[in-house]
Amino acid sequence: MSTQQIQVKLLRYKCIGCSYCVSLAPEIFSISVSDGKITFLFENAFDDDTIDAFFDSSIEPIAQQTENICPTGAIKCIMHKR
């Protein structure tokens, strides 16, 4: 039986700190206090230009919405079968 996961990649170097993503998905994203750019709510690597994480496919609808609303394309979502 295959399961799906979604990989959410944050291209932080593109982020302008508008926080649309945080408004849509505060359970996934936050804005770093150190540089004002997107990060994962649980992530401590604020200074990395690109960070990614894998989530259960149940967050796919909200992840896709954040990808679509981001004005700079700083969020990328990729589905994976396991």
Query: Cβ–Cβ contacts within 10 Å for residue 29, how many?
Result: 22
The Cα–Cα gap between 15 and 70 comes to: 9
What's the pTM?
Answer: 0.88
Domains of the chain plus CATH, in order, are 4-81 (3.30.70.20)
- pLDDT tens string, the chain, 82 residues long: the values are 558 999 999 999 999 999 999 999 999 999 988 889 999 988 665 568 899 999 999 999 999 999 999 999 999 999 998 6
